[in-house]
């Protein structure tokens, strides 16, 4: 690898294929593992349906209840800001949509670049705030693990390098674009094996809990 362009081509070629393969196989195994967990068959007569309560719980537990907001307003507000900001930058930035279309054939309208830039900047600030909060809050500091900081660093690197590439603040440009792509690939590789898996498993878990409570005839 003799230059920034070669580095960029490597991230867009061989490294991309490696990352996608590890991500797909790892996620498939993880999802299969979840659905194949041995669960005792419930022989009790169902008091209510499962699908309705399951979907209702997916919604109700996605929106923080007043009690949760009163106990941890920072976690709720800042957490929502950076999660939504990350998804907007990921799914509504034109180059990202073009990449998704090349892989799946699916596409949708993009947001204007200035809007994506503003959202990305806010997301960066929110991510920094979450790190400071984690390192200074007595309880969160005690329960945080190395994995928590690794996950934060990977997500932050993806957003930061994207922001730097958008404004072309690093020369040569192929280098920072390659860094952005590589950080996204590292995130893909780590996703099935870390807490990042919650991107796919959160709603499955919420549906399962709601369905279980619905079968028992109670609301969660």
pLDDT tier, 162 (very low <50, low <70, confident <90, very high otherwise): very high
**Mean pLDDT estimate for the chain:** 89
- Would 48 be classed as within a structural domain? no
Write out the two tokens for 12: 């867009």
pTM of the model: 0.84
Task: Please report, for the domain that includes residue 8, its CATH number.
Answer: 1.20.950.20
* pLDDT digit string, tens, across residues 69-121: 788 888 889 999 999 999 999 999 999 999 999 989 999 999 999 999 999 99
More reliable by pLDDT, 160 or 46: 160
**Residues ≥6 apart with Cβ < 8 Å to 84:** none
pLDDT reported for residue 216: 74
What is the C-alpha separation between 106 and 97, in angstroms, rounded?
8
- Would 209 be classed as within a structural domain? yes
- Would 38 be classed as within a structural domain? no
- Would 43 be classed as within a structural domain? no
**3-class DSSP assignment, residue 168:** coil
Write out the two tokens for 145: 């693990």
- Would 80 be classed as within a structural domain? yes
What is the C-alpha separation between 136 and 130, in angstroms, rounded?
10
What is the C-alpha separation between 211 and 213, in angstroms, rounded?
5
Range of the domain at 211: 3-33+72-216
pLDDT reported for residue 219: 62
More reliable by pLDDT, 197 or 206: 197
- Would 13 be classed as within a structural domain? yes
Number of domains in the chain: 1
Q: Whats the size of the chain, residue-wise?
A: 220
pLDDT reported for residue 85: 96
pLDDT reported for residue 53: 78
- Would 41 be classed as within a structural domain? no
What is the C-alpha separation between 99 and 185, in angstroms, rounded?
13
Please identify which residue in the block is written with the tokens 């094996």.
193
What is the C-alpha separation between 142 and 203, in angstroms, rounded?
27
- Would 94 be classed as within a structural domain? yes
Per-residue pLDDT at 139 exceeds 80: yes
């Amino acid at each position: 690898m003799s230059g920034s362009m070669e580095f960029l081509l490597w991230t867009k070629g061989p490294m991309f294929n490696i990352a996608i393969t590890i991500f797909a196989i790892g996620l498939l195994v993880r999802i299969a593992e979840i659905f194949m967990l041995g669960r005792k068959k419930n022989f009790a007569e169902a008091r209510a349906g499962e699908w309705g309560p399951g979907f209702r719980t997916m919604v109700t537990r996605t929106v923080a209840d007043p009690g949760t907001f009163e106990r941890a307003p920072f976690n709720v507000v800042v957490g929502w800001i950076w999660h939504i900001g990350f998804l907007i930058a990921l799914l509504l930035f034109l180059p990202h949509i073009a990449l998704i279309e090349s892989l799946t054939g699916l596409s949708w309208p993009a947001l204007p670049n200035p809007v994506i830039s503003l959202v990305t900047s806010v997301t960066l600030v929110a991510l920094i705030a979450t790190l400071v909060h984690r390192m200074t809050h007595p309880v969160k500091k005690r329960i945080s693990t190395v994995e928590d900081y690794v996950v934060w660093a990977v997500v932050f690197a993806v957003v930061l390098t994207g922001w730097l590439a958008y404004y072309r603040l690093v020369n040569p440009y192929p280098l920072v674009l390659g860094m952005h792509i590589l950080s996204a690939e590292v995130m893909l590789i780590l996703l099935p094996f870390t807490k990042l898996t919650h991107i796919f498993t959160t709603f499955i878990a919420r549906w399962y809990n709601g369905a279980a409570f619905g079968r028992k005839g109670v609301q969660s």
